[in-house]
């Protein structure tokens, strides 16, 4: 479980919750402890100020026994350890620990059998009630006092069994002269019980918070991981050839983005597979068409060879034999061209034919194609006119393959143009692309034919014109490799304009 996203989320939730409780608890305890220390110090200070006058007067008498008894009485009444020092810090009286004082014998005491001291502040508010004192007479005639309930302070029922570590010292002054020092310590630790209660509450709260964190962590982990589980199901469905599987959208932004990306990928994958299936169908039709196209010259070649053999056997006219040989050569040439064109188109479509993209001047590529076909144009007395920019137009392309595409279009223009006509070849640039146009004054292309003009083996209605029917398909594939497209504008008996559009 801990290796899953849900397990780690739960663990982190518990860890953060417990760390938060621990930090808050420790800070609260530190603040409370500081508050209690201040109260303990204030208590010692108040007691010192209360008993300082009595101890000062007693210290002036130099009666150390009396001073010791006064210190003991004060310590017993207020449950603090009282120490008196001389002006040179020599200890002259020490009450000892207040919890060790069980009985003392003062010299003069009030008459009631039960005594209780009340300490008030300067505003008259009660700040301390001493524990009740029991008054008893011993056999020697002395009076003994003891606490009925030692340690009961501040109106509470619990005795102060814990001792504070706070110390307080103050000088004893008479007429602006320090005659000694009064030191109070081992007072009641007023915050111990509260601190213990807080520790217990913190422990109990931690257990409850742990249970709550586990519950909330499980709920939050389920809400967070549920979209992942749904996405995993969609992925498994696609792995099982269900190309319609899609991930539902989520209210969580990150998962919704992930689902959108997955769905986009699934759409692309479906489109790719659909395209492959379409190309498979096209390939099947291509093979069928190729078989038909190849069968025609092969049949003709076989027929001419048979006739040639018959002529030779009958010692017939040499003229007829020569004709049969010429026709056989034509069919062989057509078969060779068709086979070469099919191979080239297949290599282009499957990207098996390597391309060498370089940044070169488009004008040079166009000029090279024109120079190759210029002699052919002269045989029909055609004028090849160019309209090229004066400045170089640099473009990343494969000069050899792009030159072939341009050459195929110029060759078609020559083939379908009447003798003595003209062909316009131009190069234009726009903000978004480069445009290479080949315009002729040929027979034109009918609108219903224009949609199929780039199909394999399609030669239009005029079957008398030679060719493999693959030239325009090869042109289109070359332009696609260059991230471009071919646009056609044509009117019958007026002419056609083929434009290669290359995006910048």
Task: For each of the domains in the chain, give its residue range(s) and CATH number, in order of start.
Answer: 5-194 (no CATH), 246-350 (1.10.287.130), 354-503 (3.30.565.10)
- 339-368 CB burial, b ≥16 within 10 A, e <16: eebbebbeebbeeebeeeeeebbbbebbbe
Higher pLDDT, 235 or 119: 235
Average pLDDT, the chain: 78
Give the pair of three-digit tokens for residue 25.
Answer: 């608890």
Whether 491 shows a pLDDT value over 80: the answer reads yes
Contact 486, 501 (CB under 8 A): yes
pLDDT at 127: 43
Residue 307 in this model has a pLDDT that exceeds 80: no
Judge whether residue 272 has pLDDT over 90: no
- Residues of 90-128 as b/e, b for ≥16 C-beta within 10 angstroms? eebbbbeebbebeeeeeeeeeeeeebeeeeeeeeeeeeb
Q: What is the pLDDT of residue 385?
A: 95
Is the distance from CB of 443 to CB of 493 less than 8 angstroms? Answer: yes
Query: pLDDT class for 118, splitting at 50, 70, 90?
Result: very low
Q: Using one digit for the tens of pLDDT, what is the confidence trace for 347-380? A: 776 665 667 899 999 999 999 999 999 999 999 9
Q: Which residue, chain included where needed, has tokens 């978004």?
A: 432
Structure-block tokens of residue 146: 């003891």
**Low-confidence winner among 1-5, 212-216, 440-444, 471-475 (lowest mean pLDDT):** 1-5
Q: Which of 478, 475, 500 is nearest to 487 (CA)?
A: 500
Give the CA dihedral 8, 10, 13, 16, nearest 10 degrees: -60
Token pair of 440, please? 């002729």
> How crowded is residue 438: how many other Cβ atoms within 10 Å of its Cβ?
24
The pairing of strands 495-503 and 484-491 is antiparallel
Burial of 473 (0-12, 13-18, 19+ CB in 10 A): buried
- 18 touches 210 (CB < 8 A): yes
What pLDDT does 155 receive? Answer: 40
pLDDT at residue 501 in the model? 96
- pLDDT value for 125: 43
Q: Bigger pLDDT: 417 or 458? A: 417
**What is the pLDDT at residue 128?**
47
Q: Tell me, what's the pLDDT at 109?
A: 38
Stretch 107-111: mean pLDDT, rounded? 40
pLDDT of 208 > 90? The answer is no
pLDDT at 71 over 70: yes
**Percent of the chain residues topping a pLDDT of 90:** 27
Q: Is the confidence at residue 167, as pLDDT, over 60?
A: yes
At residue 455 the predicted structure's pLDDT band, cuts being 50, 70 and 90, is: confident
The predicted structure's pLDDT at residue 436: 97
Dihedral Cα 12, 18, 23, 28, nearest 10 deg:
150
136, 104 Cβ separation under 8 angstroms: no
Q: Is the pLDDT of residue 466 over 90?
A: no
Alpha-carbon distance 62 to 47, whole Å?
A: 23
> Average pLDDT in the 330-339 region?
72
Q: What pLDDT is attached to residue 112?
A: 43
Distance of alpha carbon 157 from alpha carbon 62, whole angstroms: 40
Of 169, 179, 185, nearest in space to 49 by CA? 169
- Greater pLDDT, 155 or 258: 258
Report the C-alpha gap between 495 and 499 in whole angstroms: 13
């Amino acid at each position: 479980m801990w290796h899953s996203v849900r397990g780690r989320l739960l663990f982190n939730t518990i860890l953060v919750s417990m760390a938060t409780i621990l930090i808050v608890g420790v800070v609260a305890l530190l603040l409370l402890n500081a508050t209690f220390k201040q109260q303990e110090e204030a208590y010692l200070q108040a007691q010192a100020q209360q008993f300082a006058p009595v101890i000062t007067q007693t210290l002036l008498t130099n009666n150390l026994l009396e001073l010791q008894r006064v210190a003991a009485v004060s310590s017993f009444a207020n449950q603090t350890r009282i120490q008196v020092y001389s002006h040179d810090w020599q200890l002259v009286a020490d009450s000892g620990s207040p919890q060790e004082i069980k009985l003392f014998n003062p010299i003069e005491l009030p008459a009631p059998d039960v005594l209780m001291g009340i300490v008030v502040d300067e505003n008259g508010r009660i700040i301390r009630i001493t524990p009740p004192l029991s008054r008893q007479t011993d056999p020697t005639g002395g009076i003994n006092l003891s606490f009925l309930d030692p340690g009961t302070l501040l109106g509470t029922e619990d005795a102060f069994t814990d001792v504070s570590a706070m110390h307080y010292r103050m000088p004893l002054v008479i007429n602006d002269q320090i005659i000694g020092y009064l030191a109070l310590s081992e007072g009641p630790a007023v915050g111990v019980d509260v601190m213990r209660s807080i520790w217990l509450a913190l422990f109990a709260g931690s257990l409850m918070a742990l249970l709550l964190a586990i519950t909330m962590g499980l709920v939050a982990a389920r809400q967070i991981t549920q979209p992942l589980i749904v996405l995993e199901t969609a992925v498994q469905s696609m792995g099982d050839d269900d190309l319609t599987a899609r991930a539902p959208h989520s209210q969580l932004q990150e998962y919704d983005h992930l689902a959108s990306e997955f769905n986009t990928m699934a759409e692309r994958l479906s489109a790719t597979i659909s395209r492959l299936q379409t190309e498979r169908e096209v390939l099947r039709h291509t093979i069928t068409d190729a078989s038909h196209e190849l069968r025609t010259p092969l049949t003709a070649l076989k027929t001419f060879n048979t006739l040639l053999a018959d002529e030779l056997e009958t010692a017939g006219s040499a003229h007829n034999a020569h004709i049969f040989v010429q026709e056989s050569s034509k069919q062989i040439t057509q078969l060779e061209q068709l086979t070469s064109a099919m191979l080239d188109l297949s290599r282009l479509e499957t990207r098996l034919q390597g391309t060498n993209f370089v940044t070169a001047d488009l004008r040079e590529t166009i000029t090279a194609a024109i120079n190759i076909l210029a002699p052919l144009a002269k045989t029909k007395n055609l004028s090849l006119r160019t309209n090229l920019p004066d400045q170089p137009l640099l473009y990343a392309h494969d000069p050899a393959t792009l030159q072939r595409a341009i050459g195929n279009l110029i060759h078609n223009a020559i083939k379908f143009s009447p003798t003595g006509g003209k062909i316009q070849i131009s190069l234009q640039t726009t903000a978004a692309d480069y445009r290479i146009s080949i315009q002729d004054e040929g027979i034109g292309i009918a609108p219903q034919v224009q949609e199929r003009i780039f199909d394999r083996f399609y030669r239009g209605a005029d079957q008398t014109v030679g060719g493999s029917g693959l030239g325009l398909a090869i042109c289109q594939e070359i332009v696609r490799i260059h991230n471009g497209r071919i646009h056609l504008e044509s009117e019958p008996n007026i002419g056609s304009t083929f434009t290669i559009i290359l995006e910048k």
